[in-house]
Amino acid sequence: MITISNLRIEDKKELSYLFCDIQDDVKNKKTEVWFSVSSQYKEYLCTELADAFLLGLLPIAIKHNQDITVDAAVSPRLLYNLRTGIEPMYQKIFKKSGCTKITVRETKDINFNGKGVATGCSLGVDSLSAIYSHLEKDIVDEFKLTHLTLFNSGQLGDYDLEASEQNFLNTVEEIKPFAESLNLNILAINSNFNSLYKDTGIHVLQTVAVRTIAFAMSVQKLLRHYIFGSTYPIDMIKFDCLDTEHQEAAFLPLLSTENLSTFLADQYKTRVDKTAYIRTKPYVSKYLKVCWAEQTAYEVWQNTTFLEGKTKTNCGWCDKCLRTLLTLEVLNNGNLDDYKEQFELKKYYEHRDAYIKKIFAERKKNSFYQEIVDLIIEKEYPIDKSVLRKYRRQNKKETQKSKFRSLLRRIINKILRR
């Protein structure tokens, strides 16, 4: 049994904290869990409803077959969606998980009348596309952005808790100039929620949407709408035990309360579509940040020596840097001059030709690679002729196989109708 109780607000220096007590009977451990914001947002911290804590803890409870008791009020809509939608989804994601019984002291339909509209600001392609698309002139006023958010919810590091917090603090400083350029407020929320997920066997990719919206719910007195930047287009929705980013279109509508509505941005756009869109927008070339090098060094290789020579925000040769720069190169007809301050372009050109061979060879296993291959073919962009010849041979064989299968199906159907 996991019990959530004693919601309260405390001030420490220039920060305000939303606390609750978490009692885990299986671990026989009591933990103070908190969200913190700058004091200017104190009035928006939500003690009236335990939505943020319940949502954030649910994946852990489901994974380990534990029930949850909430000694506080919960939004009716959220409770209904957790029981009927989110829990069944996670039972598919976490194999061999059981049913989790959610018991709450009461449900309350409270109208906080929040006016804020927010979206995350990682400065990546998905993030920037969501930001600019919700600043367009034809966006309904109710959905125009008022805040850019940064949450220490796992995506800034999920293993080394001290490093993730320092990364969070550093990133807040990094995004300030961009937010000021767009005349938007920054809503930064820190938390120790990562400590609860450590050693649970749950990867951050399995809980990205849930953890993000849990943070937003901690200030649902402020936020009326939260815009979640999509990772994949909606036609790629699927259930996968490793990566719930494929399920965002199913998850997001269920992560709402009577006060906070959640929406998936750009759900019909591919990564190439988003890159093509943002490259024309102001400040993008100056602030675009897609690099995976540091996260890979700390969390995958546990070896940071190769970072010593990194002098720019984007290394230029990790997979995300390569695919972003290659897409921009094709879209800009070879011109990458606007990105030379943010990317190590020398590293990019050293790895470019090998990377093109890689994406053509592995395109069937990686949708991001397939998008870039399709763009290269559509634009007739000049690349190694041997790569193109091999691609055309393979494409011809695949077309012939498809025609043969189609003919075989027609013959079988004709026989069955006799």
Determine the 3-state secondary structure of 144 from DSSP.
coil
What pTM value is reported for the model? Answer: 0.90
Are the beta carbons of 41 and 3 closer than 8 angstroms?
Answer: no
Burial of 319: CB neighbours in 10 Å, binned 0-12, 13-18, 19+: middle
**Residue 415: pLDDT over 70:** no
pLDDT tens string 289-344: 999 877 665 655 556 666 667 789 999 999 999 999 999 999 999 999 999 999 99
Burial of 119: CB neighbours in 10 Å, binned 0-12, 13-18, 19+: buried
**Residue 171: pLDDT over 90:** yes
* Antiparallel, parallel or unpaired: β 15-24 and 2-12: antiparallel
Percent of the chain with pLDDT over 70: 90
**Residue 386: pLDDT over 80:** yes
Token pair 């405390």 is found at 10
Are the beta carbons of 356 and 384 closer than 8 angstroms?
Answer: yes
Instruction: Return d(Cα 170, Cα 187) in angstroms, integer.
Output: 14
Mean pLDDT to the nearest integer, 88-104: 84
Q: Give the DSSP H or E segment for 17.
A: strand 15-24
Q: How many Cβ atoms from other residues are within 10 Å of residue 245's Cβ?
A: 17
- Strands of 55-193, DSSP E: 68-74, 102-107, 116-120, 147-151, 185-191
Instruction: Return d(Cα 237, Cα 387) in angstroms, integer.
Output: 31
Are the beta carbons of 360 and 391 closer than 8 angstroms?
Answer: yes
Q: What is the mean pLDDT of the chain?
A: 89
| Cα-based distances in Å from 61 to 69, 147, 337 | 11, 32, 50
Q: Which two tokens stand for residue 4?
A: 């959530």
pLDDT tens string 216-237: 999 999 999 999 998 888 877 7
Specify which residues 10 forms β-bridges with. 17
pLDDT tens string 117-154: 999 999 999 999 999 999 999 999 999 999 999 999 98
Token pair 């939500």 is found at 46
Instruction: Return d(Cα 201, Cα 285) in angstroms, integer.
Output: 38
